Structure 1
């Protein structure tokens, strides 16, 4: 982890109107995210952590406040700029994989590789996640764990500077979940991608260099973890 700030969130809020009720999903939230760090955002359902992740990924904009990525103000960006940011700078890993069912594992990764200049090799990336022999299989022919490995390969093939993971182990059994976390840690260490993992699962935070705790739409605590654990040593 370097001391360079990759992303800066300054006093952001996010308010939704649900019928006649106003919901404050995020309240006055500020956070610096450093280049090359592995950060875990921890909190129960409804704490605002997924809203925060969506704003980081340019999938949503704050109601107030500012978001800077490498000095560029995303909160004032046009839709075209946000699209370019999502394509070129960010990789996403979701709880339920979000693979395209009519494309093979290789084609799903190839689609992401085609979004950027100088991507990694699709076949090498699938080999890295242990799926070299499954490259021609469709998502319906893969287990949940295999689909999530394809999703990680799809995100990592772009060499994203920011890899955002929303409950990446949520739909997986314990052992498969630990394998996914090991792959994310590998992307962080070997590619230098900043990895942000959102989870309600407290033990996962032991692998992070910093832990951000959220409650009721606010950051309640930021913890420096001087001795991160390898995912193999984490139990939940």
Structure 2
């Protein structure tokens, strides 16, 4: 069966000028994301994986090349087009949660739900991430794992076509990290969202449909897992 391309990056570059120094954060990177896949992008710090994720998420613009989401050209998109893309098509899960501290778990998720026309039911999403009984708690009253689950619920409630996750287990212990990965796999499997996980943690790649390895601002390898491993069985 032919896979449908959700996002296409063609020879994308990103350079930063810092005084007299030009830094090539991303070098002529070409990549396709397929609808309904779970992709893991691996690489050490400075490999360009976060830069790539920010370009996918419309939070940074490429210096060169082309970026397409479906038929929409994001390469030279203005602020209004990028805001619309991030609002309606995208969910983003940050490593350090980025929750609003003065809002409860439910209110953080409701804020995101109010951005789209047809969100998933807030209470249902909170139950799905195991926070039905904790929804009236503020972030300061929640553990790190619980805060990350709120962050996932906030992204998932929009029912996004693309869910981007920047080191979602980086601040968590091993057991909690596996729970978070299981949630992301469940969203991919049951909701059909394309999920991209950026990490430096190699064992996590076992759960992916495809694995992209980066080094020094470039993609050096793309491989396919014929039999992805359930997150509950991943050890690191």
TM-score range, shorter chain: over 0.9
**Larger CA deviation: 156-165 vs 69-78:** 69-78
| CA distance in 1: counterparts of 2:122 and 2:72, whole angstroms | 30
| CA distance in 2: counterparts of 1:2 and 1:54, whole angstroms | 28
Q: Would the alpha carbon gap of residues 127 and 139 (structure 1) be closer, same or farther in structure 2, given more than 3 Å must change?
A: same
1:156 is the counterpart of 2:122: no
Mapped contact 1:2–1:37 kept (Cα < 8 A)? no
Give the corresponding residue for 2:136. Answer: 136
Give the corresponding residue for 1:46. Answer: 46
Give the corresponding residue for 1:178. Answer: 178
- CA offsets per residue over residues 209-231 of structure 1, 9 Å max, x none? 00000000000000011010000
Deviation at 1:17, TM superposition (A): 1.1
| CA distance in 1: counterparts of 2:130 and 2:226, whole angstroms | 30
| CA distance in 1: counterparts of 2:177 and 2:230, whole angstroms | 13
Mapped contact 1:91–1:156 kept (Cα < 8 A)? yes
| CA distance in 2: counterparts of 1:71 and 1:30, whole angstroms | 17
Deviation at 1:69, TM superposition (A): 0.1
Tell me the SS of whatever aligns to 1:179: helix
Give the corresponding residue for 1:166. Answer: 166
**Larger CA deviation: 208-217 vs 16-25:** 16-25
Q: How many residues are treated as equivalent by the alignment?
A: 236
Which ranges of structure 2 fall in alignment gaps of 5 or more residues?
A: none
Mapped contact 1:2–1:36 kept (Cα < 8 A)? no
Give the corresponding residue for 2:55. Answer: 55
Tell me the SS of whatever aligns to 1:83: helix
Q: TM-score, normalised by structure 2?
A: 0.99
| CA distance in 1: counterparts of 2:19 and 2:235, whole angstroms | 42
Tell me the SS of whatever aligns to 1:135: coil
Mapped contact 1:2–1:34 kept (Cα < 8 A)? no
Q: CA RMSD in A?
A: 0.9
Give the corresponding residue for 1:106. Answer: 106
Which ranges of structure 1 fall in alignment gaps of 5 or more residues?
A: none
**Divergent runs of 4+, >2 A:** none
Give the corresponding residue for 2:21. Answer: 21
Give the corresponding residue for 1:214. Answer: 214
Tell me the SS of whatever aligns to 1:211: strand
- CA offsets per residue over residues 149-185 of structure 1, 9 Å max, x none? 0000000000000000000000000000000000000
Tell me the SS of whatever aligns to 1:195: strand
Q: TM-score, normalised by structure 1?
A: 0.99
| CA distance in 1: counterparts of 2:143 and 2:19, whole angstroms | 39
